[in-house]
């Protein structure tokens, strides 16, 4: 700076003693010691001359102290102590003395704050609004020029500095109840904004974050009854819009500006929008009637937006929470409800977290925040639906939003559900959500108990004082209690269900008993609960599918639930079958067994009932569903797990008593062909169950139902049944099962009405042998009256001899069955098979002998059987057959020689 120019400036502002120094003797009686010292310091430093940096700071601090005194006085006036104009000139010298290359000078900043403080100090009465005193006019102009100069940085306005000015001025506008102060504040802001409009390039525009607060404040004052305030507010709002349009238009996506709310959405950031709403709501709550009207009208225009993209959601919610009861105006209440509703839809996580936080801190009463939520239209339903989804399908880490602070954890969602269930005014809504909430909370408990804690690290602090399992369990109890199941809760408590549910070892026992209790107590939500379980199982991502299957196994026992089971639900269940998972497969078998229990699901019209009475099967719903499960059940028979195979056959044994030939012939036929592969199982227990199943099936067969595949399979297993009269397991031959009273005749034609018990429940003590009983049953079905007597009393050799004599046309078929039994793991069965094969071959004619090359080869191989009795019997049989060849007369020489050569080769 030019020294001469600088000197001129200093001379221009040099001070000389005025009349105030000589005549004005202010009263200092009301001042404390520090304030008196500040006043004296001002007097000392107002003398002309250069001051050091420390002295400048002391002077500025003294001015600030004295300004505070004047501001706190009822009719305070700085001129009573020292003229504001002279103080402002003195401070201006400090600013001009600071070098222009250092813009962040501490002295300049402190001087600027002092000027602003002086600017809004009260002054004495004047004939006009601004006062006709030239010094007042000059002071206003000087302060405006000074503020405008201070916001300039590098030849362009610095919006960050402007914001700091406005944050100091705004309280004088908003908090003051004096019209003159409000007009002065609006005028200063308006002139500053007008000054900014003259520049095309602004710096630090992104840091200018009070646009929303300014817009909302100006908009409210535009409807002020004072014409001067209204005009100043409109002028300030006008300049603010010009700045926003000129300098933010290029930063945002183009959008047609038609209404105020479109300007609100287009030119304001989320923070600024929140400021607009907060300022308007504060005006509605704390302002005058005029402010309430203006703010309400402005918010109605803004809320035309379907979604509010704002920040500061907790502040808005807290404002509503703490002041909603004070509002009596219906229009204002509706406006606030609209704001809350939009926030619930668009910022659900933040709303819930804020309500929980206020609930923890509030002393107003239990669950007050959730009662407020329930009072807003659709608020309860929207949040409950959202919380439900948060529990059922928590977001994966990669799907979560960047702002993790507002991410709702599963535990927090569970707590929020618990709080909402306690709202007494929402009992009817709870009924609507019972099924989905019940399933979601049960899944939540299963995940925590069986899989352990899977919570993210930032959630772990929540569990320090709260046990997630206990909290989820309490929410489930509250749900049932709120839904009117008080008696159910007592019954469940008696069964010890809650303790089982939280036990990792017995959790699924608890799930089973919980489902059973709903069936026993005839819970009226059983159908919706079933439907929601099926809905969740539609997703292959359901991690709690096993819990669902365990629960559904018991729930299907409910007649009401069984009545709504359809093909879609059955296929969804079948899709979860996994033979490789033993627990899942066993659960699936239980579900299949339950499917056969409900005869009320078999629906027949009048025509079908007529056919049924005549003995003709009419397919029902149950059998159609069982047909869907059939392939999965039979697949279990071939599992690598011996436990699963055994349980599968036991289940088949149990369900046969509920199946009739009329409605399940296809399944029974496939089962018979499946059994063929298990009659020779090494496991004696499994072999016994297989024979019992076969006996139970034949008990359902009559002459009328003996179709070709069944007849063929019965004959194909005939030799096997006879030979198993030599089974090493005595239970297979002579199993003594429970019987009914002696004398009851055993019926071989069991119809659908009398198929309630397994076959061994209706046996007479006189017929204890399983295989012998099956043979007698077959003889009855095939009308073999003579053989039936032999089957009932004779030994295995007599039976085979009689069978060979009566059914000569089937000798080659019997031979093939014998050969198949050469591989039996039981030595006694192989012995009888070799003996019977020898008998058959002995009785073959020459033409038949030519058809048994493979059988001869298998028979010859039996000479190497590890059982010495079997191998010795085979050798002896070959000798006998060879001796037979020697005594048979030759009828045709040519063929005789050929045949004798073939025969010698066979027996060697």
pLDDT above 70 (res 169):
yes
State the pLDDT at residue 3.
Answer: 43
Q: What mean pLDDT do residues 119-125 have?
A: 59
Least confident of 49-63, 256-270, 458-472, 893-907: 893-907
pLDDT above 80 (res 269):
no
Closest CA to 748 of 764, 738, 759: 759
pLDDT above 60 (res 391):
yes
State the pLDDT at residue 599.
Answer: 58
- Whether residue 871 contacts residue 865, with contact meaning beta carbons closer than 8 Å, is answered with yes
Domain boundary (751, 778, 805) is at: 805
Distance (Å, whole) CA 595 – CA 655: 9
Q: What mean pLDDT do residues 59-69 have?
A: 87
Whole-Å CA distances, 301 to 308, 592, 694: 13, 61, 81
Residue 36 lies in a domain: yes
Residue 539 lies in a domain: no
Of the two residues 406 and 167, the one the predictor is more confident about is 167
As for how many domains the chain has, the answer is 4
Listing DSSP states for 621-661 in one string gives HHHHHHHHHHHHHHHHTT-S-HHHHHHHHHHHHHHGGG--H
Return the DSSP state at 203.
Answer: B
Confidence of residue 616 (pLDDT cuts 50, 70, 90): very low
Listing DSSP states for 100-168 in one string gives TT-TT-HHHHHHHHHHHHHHTS-----SSSS-S-HHHHHHHHHHHHHHHHHTEETTEEBHHHHHHHHHH
pLDDT above 70 (res 896):
no
Least confident of 688-697, 765-774, 807-816, 832-841: 765-774
Distance (Å, whole) CA 468 – CA 527: 29
State the pLDDT at residue 768.
Answer: 34
Residue 261 lies in a domain: yes
Least confident of 338-352, 395-409, 432-446: 395-409
In three-state secondary structure terms, 580 is coil
Residue 525 lies in a domain: no
State the pLDDT at residue 229.
Answer: 85
768 plus 887 within the same structural domain:
no
Of the two residues 364 and 161, the one the predictor is more confident about is 161
Confidence of residue 402 (pLDDT cuts 50, 70, 90): very low
State the pLDDT at residue 107.
Answer: 81
Distance (Å, whole) CA 680 – CA 546: 34
Of the two residues 65 and 117, the one the predictor is more confident about is 65
State the pLDDT at residue 731.
Answer: 65
- Whether residue 254 contacts residue 219, with contact meaning beta carbons closer than 8 Å, is answered with no
Tokens of 692: 């019992």
178 plus 188 within the same structural domain:
yes
Least confident of 289-303, 610-624, 665-679: 610-624
pLDDT above 70 (res 865):
yes
Confidence of residue 503 (pLDDT cuts 50, 70, 90): very high
Residue 28 lies in a domain: yes
Q: What mean pLDDT do residues 128-152 have?
A: 62
Of the two residues 177 and 445, the one the predictor is more confident about is 445
Domain boundary (123, 150, 177) is at: 150
Closest CA to 876 of 846, 821, 834, 847: 834
pLDDT above 50 (res 254):
no
Residue 359 lies in a domain: no
The residue with tokens 């400090």 is 94
pLDDT (tens digit, 9 = 90+) per residue, 189-235?
A: 888 888 888 888 888 887 787 878 888 888 888 878 888 888 888 88
State the pLDDT at residue 661.
Answer: 80
List the beta bridge partners of residue 156.
153
- State phi, psi for 839 to the nearest 5 degrees: -60, -40
Percent with pLDDT over 70 in the chain: 76
Distance (Å, whole) CA 880 – CA 78: 144
Domain boundary (110, 129, 150) is at: 150
Mean pLDDT over the full length of the chain:
77
Domain housing 784? 688-805
State the pLDDT at residue 905.
Answer: 39
Residue 10 lies in a domain: yes
Distance (Å, whole) CA 534 – CA 545: 10
State the pLDDT at residue 403.
Answer: 44
Of the two residues 200 and 10, the one the predictor is more confident about is 200
pLDDT above 60 (res 404):
no
Residue 90: in which H helix or E strand, if any?
Answer: helix 84-97
779 plus 892 within the same structural domain:
no
State the pLDDT at residue 481.
Answer: 92
Show Cβ contacts of residue 312 under 8 Å, excluding neighbours closer than 6 positions.
271, 274, 275, 278
106 plus 244 within the same structural domain:
no
Q: Where are the beta strands (DSSP E) in 341-482?
A: none
Return the DSSP state at 222.
Answer: T
104 plus 233 within the same structural domain:
no
pLDDT above 90 (res 509):
yes
Listing DSSP states for 255-311 in one string gives ----SHHHHHHHH--HHHHHHHHHHHHHHHHHS-HHHHHHHHHHHHHHTTSSS---S
Q: What mean pLDDT do residues 580-607 have?
A: 73
215 plus 143 within the same structural domain:
no
139 plus 170 within the same structural domain:
no
How far from chain centre, in Å, is Cα 809?
Answer: 68
Report for 44-48, 206-210, 438-442: range of highest mean pLDDT = 438-442
pLDDT (tens digit, 9 = 90+) per residue, 307-346?
A: 567 888 888 888 888 887 777 778 888 888 888 888 888 8
Q: What mean pLDDT do residues 391-409 have?
A: 56
pLDDT above 80 (res 487):
yes
In three-state secondary structure terms, 358 is helix
Distance (Å, whole) CA 304 – CA 389: 28
Closest CA to 314 of 264, 369, 269: 369
735 plus 864 within the same structural domain:
no
Least confident of 161-170, 449-458, 474-483: 449-458
Q: What mean pLDDT do residues 502-506 have?
A: 93
783 plus 835 within the same structural domain:
no
pLDDT above 90 (res 367):
no
Tokens of 8: 């001129």
Of the two residues 905 and 137, the one the predictor is more confident about is 137
792 plus 755 within the same structural domain:
yes
Confidence of residue 259 (pLDDT cuts 50, 70, 90): very low
Least confident of 257-261, 262-266, 689-693, 882-886: 257-261
State the pLDDT at residue 578.
Answer: 81
Return the DSSP state at 15.
Answer: -
Distance (Å, whole) CA 289 – CA 727: 102
779 plus 823 within the same structural domain:
no
pLDDT (tens digit, 9 = 90+) per residue, 743-764?
A: 323 332 323 333 333 333 333 2
219 plus 263 within the same structural domain:
yes
pLDDT above 90 (res 555):
yes
Of the two residues 494 and 402, the one the predictor is more confident about is 494
State the pLDDT at residue 442.
Answer: 95
State whether the Cα torsion 799-800-802-806 is positive or negative: positive
What is the pTM (predicted TM-score) of this model? 0.67
pLDDT above 50 (res 123):
yes
pLDDT (tens digit, 9 = 90+) per residue, 775-794?
A: 999 999 998 999 999 998 89
Give me Rg for the CA atoms of the chain.
49
Residue 595 lies in a domain: no
The Cβ of residue 614 has, within 10 Å, a number of other Cβ atoms equal to 7
């Amino acid at each position: 700076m030019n020294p001469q120019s600088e000197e001129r400036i200093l001379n221009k502002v040099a001070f000389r003693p005025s009349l105030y120094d000589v005549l004005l003797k202010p009263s200092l009686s009301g001042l404390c010691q520090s304030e008196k010292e500040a006043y004296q310091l001002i007097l000392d430093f107002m003398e002309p001359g250069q001051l050091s940096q420390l002295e400048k700071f002391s002077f500025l601090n003294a001015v600030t102290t004295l300004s505070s005194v004047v501001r706190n006085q009822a009719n305070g006036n700085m001129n009573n102590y020292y003229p504001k104009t002279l103080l402002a000139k003195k401070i201006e010298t400090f600013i001009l003395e600071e070098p222009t290359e250092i813009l962040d000078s501490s002295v300049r900043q402190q001087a600027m704050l002092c000027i602003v403080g002086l600017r809004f100090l009260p002054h004495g009465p004047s004939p006009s609004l601004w006062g006709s005193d030239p010094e007042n006019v000059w002071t206003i102009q000087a302060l405006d020029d000074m503020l405008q100069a201070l916001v300039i940085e590098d030849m362009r306005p610095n919006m960050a500095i402007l914001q700091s000015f406005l944050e100091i001025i705004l309280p004088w506008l908003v908090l003051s109840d004096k019209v003159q102060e409000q007009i002065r504040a609006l005028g200063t802001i308006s002139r500053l904004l007008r000054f900014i409009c003259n520049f095309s390039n602004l710096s630090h525009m992104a840091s200018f974050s009070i646009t929303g607060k300014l817009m909302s404040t100006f908009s409210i004052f535009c409807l002020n009854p004072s014409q001067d305030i209204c005009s100043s507010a409109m002028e300030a709002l006008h300049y603010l819009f010009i700045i926003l349009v000129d300098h933010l238009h290029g930063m945002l996506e183009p959008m047609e500006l038609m209404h105020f709310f479109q300007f609100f959405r287009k030119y304001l950031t989320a923070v600024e929008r929140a400021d607009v709403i907060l300022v308007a709501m504060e005006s509605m709550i704390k302002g005058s009637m005029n402010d309430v009207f203006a703010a309400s009208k402005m918010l109605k225009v803004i809320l035309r937006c379907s979604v509010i993209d704002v920040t500061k959601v907790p502040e808005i919610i807290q404002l509503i929470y703490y002041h909603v009861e004070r509002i009596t105006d219906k229009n204002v209440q509706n406006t606030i409800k609209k704001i809350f509703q939009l926030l619930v839809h668009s910022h659900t996580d933040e709303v819930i977290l804020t309500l929980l936080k206020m609930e923890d801190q509030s002393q107003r009463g239990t669950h007050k925040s959730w009662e407020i939520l329930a009072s807003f239209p659709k608020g309860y339903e929207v949040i409950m639906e959202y919380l439900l989804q948060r529990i059922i399908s928590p977001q994966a880490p990669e799907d979560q939003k960047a702002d993790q602070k507002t991410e709702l954890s599963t535990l927090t969602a569970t707590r929020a559900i618990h709080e909402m269930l306690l709202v007494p005014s929402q009992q009817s809504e709870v009924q609507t959500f019972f099924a989905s909430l019940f399933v979601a909370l049960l899944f939540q408990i299963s995940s925590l108990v069986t899989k352990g804690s899977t919570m993210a690290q930032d959630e772990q602090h929540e569990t320090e004082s709260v046990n997630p399992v206990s909290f989820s369990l309490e929410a489930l109890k509250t749900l049932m209690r709120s839904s009117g199941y008080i008696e159910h809760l007592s019954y469940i408590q008696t069964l010890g269900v809650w303790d089982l549910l939280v036990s990792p070892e017995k959790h699924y026992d608890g799930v089973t008993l919980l489902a059973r209790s709903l069936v026993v107590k005839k819970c009226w939500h059983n159908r919706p609960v079933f439907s929601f379980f099926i809905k969740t199982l539609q997703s292959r991502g359901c991690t709690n599918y096993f819990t669902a299957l365990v629960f559904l196994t018991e729930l299907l026992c409910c007649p009401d639930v069984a009545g709504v089971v359809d093909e879609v639900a059955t296929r969804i269940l079948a899709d979860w079958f996994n033979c490789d998972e033993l627990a899942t497969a066993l659960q699936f078998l239980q579900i299949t067994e339950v499917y056969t229990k409900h005869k009320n699901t078999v629906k027949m019209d009048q025509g079908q009932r007529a056919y049924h009475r005549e003995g003709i099967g009419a397919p029902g719903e149950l059998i159609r569903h069982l047909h869907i499960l059939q392939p999965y059940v039979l697949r279990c028979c071939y599992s690598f797990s011996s436990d699963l195979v055994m349980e599968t056959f036991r289940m088949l044994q149990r369900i046969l008593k509920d199946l009739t030939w009329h409605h399940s012939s296809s399944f029974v036929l496939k089962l018979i062909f499946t059994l063929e592969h298990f009659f020779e199982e090494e496991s004696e227990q499994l072999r016994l169950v297989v024979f019992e199943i076969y006996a139970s099936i034949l008990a359902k067969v009559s002459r009328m139902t003996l179709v070709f595949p069944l007849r063929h399979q019965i004959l194909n297993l005939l030799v096997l049944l006879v030979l198993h009269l030599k089974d090493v397991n005595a239970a297979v031959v002579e199993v003594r099962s429970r019987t009914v009273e002696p004398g009851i005749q055993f019926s071989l034609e069991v119809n659908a009405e009398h198929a309630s018990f397994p076959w061994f429940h209706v046996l007479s003590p006189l017929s204890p042998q399983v295989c012998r009983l099956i043979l007698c049953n077959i003889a009855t079905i095939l009308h073999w009256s003579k053989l039936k007597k032999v089957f009932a009393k004779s030994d295995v050799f007599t039976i085979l001899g009689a069978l060979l004599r009566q059914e000569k046309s089937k000798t080659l078929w019997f031979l093939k069955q014998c050969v198949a039994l050469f591989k039996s793991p039981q030595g006694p069965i192989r012995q009888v098979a070799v003996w019977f094969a020898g008998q058959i071959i002995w009785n073959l004619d020459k033409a038949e002998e030519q058809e048994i090359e493979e059988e001869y080869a298998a028979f010859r191989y039996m000479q190497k059987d590890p059982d010495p009795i079997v191998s010795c019997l085979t050798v002896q049989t070959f000798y006998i057959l060879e001796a037979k060849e020697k005594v048979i007369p030759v009828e045709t020489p040519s063929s005789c020689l050929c045949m004798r050569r073939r025969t010698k080769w066979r027996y060697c």
